[in-house]
Amino acid sequence: MSPKEFVRRRKHLMSMMGEGAIALLPAAPVQIRNRDAEHHYRQDSDFMYLTGFPEPEAVLVLIPGRKQGQCILFCREQDPSMTLWNGPMAGLEGAVESYGADDAFPISDLDEILPGLLEERETVCYTMGARPDFDQRVMGWVNQVRSKSRSGVHAPEEFVSLDHLLHELRLFKSRAELKAMREAATISVKAHKRAMKICKPGMYEYEIEAEYLHEFRRHNSVPAYSSIVGGGNNGCVLHYVDNRDELRDGDLLLIDAAAEVECYAADITRTFPVNGKFSPAQRALYEVVLDAQLAAIKAVKPGNHWNDPHDATVRVITEGLLKLGLLKGKLDNMIESEAYKRFYMHRVGHWLGMDVHDVGDYKIGDEWRMLEPGMVLTIEPGIYIPIGSKGVAKKWQGIGIRIEDDVVVTKDGHLVLSEKAPKHVDEIEALMNG
Ligand code: GLY
Ligand code: MN
Ligand code: MN
């Protein structure tokens, strides 16, 4: 992503904040995995969105209209002993030269410098509650300024939720963001095809997961979330991530796995037969889910609202379940009473971006939000019939199916970033047996 992109985003945010405001945004903390071992560092998405700065121990301060500089980055200073262990770091010069800060200060000077920056600012834009340790520090700085009121210093009087402004920006993806998301989807599609080609009865779920990791890493990406690789009945566990069982002849395999590129996620699910051939029952249910997914994708266009794709899946899935005898009754009654929820219990999808479940409001006031160009969402209906489901014929039990694609709202309708991952029955069988 080019430095200009970050300048543009900061400018946009500052124009929303208005003069007289100040925004404070800390980088993600390092997370300890156990004892001396750290989790792989992932920058906070909001912080990354505005800076592109990948290091921990940093704070971004935006001060619109400030003559001496509007964008200040506090970060770690160059330290040869740290570089020895952890590799190169930006340092103060890098923060200015490579990341476009107007000024940079050592993170160790934050407590000393920040109260002065708050003086004469009316509004503090800050996300309260996400980082209790940082909340305390913000309060401390504000109180420090308040304590100087007798000497005529004005302390900020208003707190505004930074999320609210920033997440509205993040909801609409720029060309550069869509490029990263397309790249993440393309790598993920390669991984799904690789899994379909290699899968056979007797393999283990973790072996299939390894194929995804191989494909992600060899393209310089990381998993966007913990991969779900569930054979047979495990496909009915919505957040199954143990991925430890043997794959059995005659079962389906549900895989929800995708890559992250430059902190932008894909989110793709495919379901296919372990042995390369759908049984008649599997095929019948699969085609209901696929029809529902296609109907929902069709409903992704400007002017439709957020809930239209969901409503489309509910109708098609309920019709399908009635036709197959899994529900009994009248279509409209079944929809109204939400009878379908026994087998389709989640919603059709979510916003997608730097976070897999990305930021952005789904409702404006009490109304579902209209879809607009630049929004990206997942479309992922499913049907899940666990073993032991009462009153359900044996042939349906142990079948979990979800089909998930990543869809951009465009001026004329939509674009499916993950469309090259096979999802039609014939396509899947041809690839698996090719
Ligand atoms: N992979 C998480 C989801 O599909 O929402
Ligand atoms: Mn998913
Ligand atoms: Mn999803």
Can you give the C-alpha Rg of the chain in angstroms? 25
pLDDT, tens digit (0-9, with 9 covering 90-100), for 227-247: 999 999 999 999 999 999 999
Domains of the chain, start order: 3-169 (3.40.350.10), 172-432 (3.90.230.10)
User: In terms of Cα–Cα distance, which of 149, 116, 121 is closest to 64?
Assistant: 121
Cβ–ligand 1 distance for 405 under 6 Å, the answer no
Per-residue pLDDT of the chain (434 residues; tens, 9 = 90+): 999 999 999 999 999 998 899 999 999 999 999 999 999 999 999 999 999 999 999 999 999 999 999 999 999 999 999 999 989 999 999 999 999 999 999 999 999 999 999 998 999 999 999 999 999 999 999 999 999 988 899 999 999 999 999 999 999 999 999 999 999 999 999 999 999 999 999 999 999 999 999 999 999 999 999 999 999 999 999 999 999 999 999 999 999 999 999 999 999 999 999 999 999 999 999 999 999 999 999 999 999 999 999 999 999 999 999 999 999 999 999 999 999 999 999 999 999 999 999 999 999 999 999 999 999 999 999 999 999 999 999 999 999 999 999 999 999 999 999 999 999 999 999 999 98
Q: How far is CA 278 from CA 14, 243, 284, 291, in A?
A: 54, 22, 9, 16
Taking CA atoms, 56 is separated from 10, 105, 298, in Å, by 20, 14, 42
Mutate to test the pocket of ligand 1, among 348, 350, 384, 402 (most ligand atoms within 8 A of CB): 350
Residue positions annotated with a catalytic role: 36, 239, 256, 267, 346, 350, 357, 380, 384, 402, 404
Condensed to tens digits (0 to 9), the pLDDT of residues 46-70 reads 999 999 999 999 999 999 999 999 9
> What is the atom index within ligand 1 of the atom nearest the CA of 258?
1
- Nearest CA-CA partner of 247 in 256, 228, 234: 234
DSSP state of 233: G
| Count of beta carbons in the 10 Å neighbourhood of residue 226 | 13
The CB of 356 under 6 Å from ligand 1? The reply is: yes
Closest Cα to residue 164, out of 139, 133, 130? 130
How long is the chain? 434
178 C-beta closer than 6 A to ligand 1: no
Nearest atom in ligand 1 to the alpha carbon of residue 404 is: 4
Query: How does DSSP classify residue 290?
Result: H
User: How far is the C-alpha of 289 from the C-alpha of 93, rounded, in Å?
Assistant: 54
Pair of tokens at residue 46: 């909001």
**CB 154, CB 142: distance < 8 Å:** no
Which runs of consecutive H residues, i.e. helices, occur in 105-158? 110-118, 132-146
Provide, for the chain, the percentages of residues in helix, strand and coil under a 3-state DSSP scheme, each rounded to the nearest 5: 40, 20, 40
* Ligand 1 near 406 CB (within 6 A): no
Which listed ligand is nearest to 226 at the C-alpha?
1
Q: Which ligand is nearest to the CA of 270?
A: 2
